[in-house]
Amino acid sequence: MLTFEENGHGEPLVLLHGLGGSARSWDLVVPELQKHRRLIVLNLPGHGGSPLTPDAATFDAMVAGVEAFLETRGITSVDVVGSSLGGRIVLELARRGRVRSAIALDPGGFWHGWERHYVFASLMGTIKLVRALGNQRKILAKPGIRSVSIRQLSHKPSALSQPFVEQEIKSCAAASDFEAIVRDLTSITAQVGPAASHVRSVAIGWGRQDKLCFPGQAIRAQTAFPGSILRWFDACGHFPIWDQPSLTVQFILQCLDLERNSDEQRASMQQGI
């Protein structure tokens, strides 16, 4: 069973982190979000203490793990937010009709051609470096060095605290079967839609300076999920929850309120922030 953290009160909101992350990857947005919802912050299989079964190092198995968690806890209709790999899982759950609404932040799975090889090489290079450094990996989080070490993921690494970056690097190093998951993610077919008809809404957020999943992929994601909202984050890399936490919270809360929003308000959400 997946491990998780729970914060806040009220209607549940499930949060899914990215590859190599953990529930703690959401630390910069949890304090504000928990004022509005009861947050169920999962650790994906093989991450943050969640076990990874021998056959779980695939995207389909990751999705199945989240589905099993929701079923076991009796959560039949829920709003879900995902980042990176978690964002793709969220979209797949929407396609299967397993969620009430889906919010995906820079989801993977929309790369074409050479982009697959680029993502594969980038992620494999990252994990090899992090693990090769062993107990010295904390050096990657030091001021100045992190401006280079995580530049591919963050547009403004210097704005992140050293303890937070150390935590993310540690989580990445500890992730089980990281390499096998990367191989699967970059070899399977691209993510497809649309969302099931009863899914209330699908929203996609994307950093304009994403150097891992390039911004052009955002248009493919929106095309795959007709009717979805696409919101751009300026001065933002692959993780809006890192680079633009306040604006990410604002976006999430706006999306959760879509049913009460007017058409004009919905249209305004398509604009960049």
Residues 87-105: tens digit of each pLDDT: 999 999 999 999 999 999 9
* Cα angle, residue 16 at apex, residues 30 and 49 outer, rounded to 5°: 95
Residues of the chain with CATH 3.40.50.1820: 4-112+190-268
Residue 166 has pLDDT above 80, yes or no: yes
Q: Which residues share a beta bridge with 202? A: 102
Q: Say how far apart CA 43 and CA 5 lie, in whole Å.
A: 8
String of DSSP letters for 183-212: HHHTTSPPP-----TT--EEEEEEETT-SS
Residues 162-175, mean pLDDT to the nearest whole number: 95
pLDDT at site 9: 93
> Given this model, what pLDDT does residue 26 score?
98
Q: What is the pLDDT of residues 125-148, one digit of tens each?
A: 999 999 999 999 999 999 989 989
Q: Which fold has domain 4-112+190-268?
A: Rossmann fold (3.40.50)
User: Over the stretch 205-257, which tens digit does the pLDDT of each residue have?
Assistant: 999 999 999 999 999 999 999 999 999 999 999 999 999 999 999 999 999 98
Q: Give the per-residue pLDDT at 270.
A: 56
Query: For residue 193, what are its two tokens?
Result: 């839609």
pTM for this structure?
A: 0.94
User: 161 by DSSP, 3-state: which?
Assistant: coil
Count the alpha carbons within 13 Å of 93 in the hemisphere toward its beta carbon. 38
- Contact (CB, 8 A) for 110 and 191: yes
Q: What is the pLDDT of residue 8?
A: 95
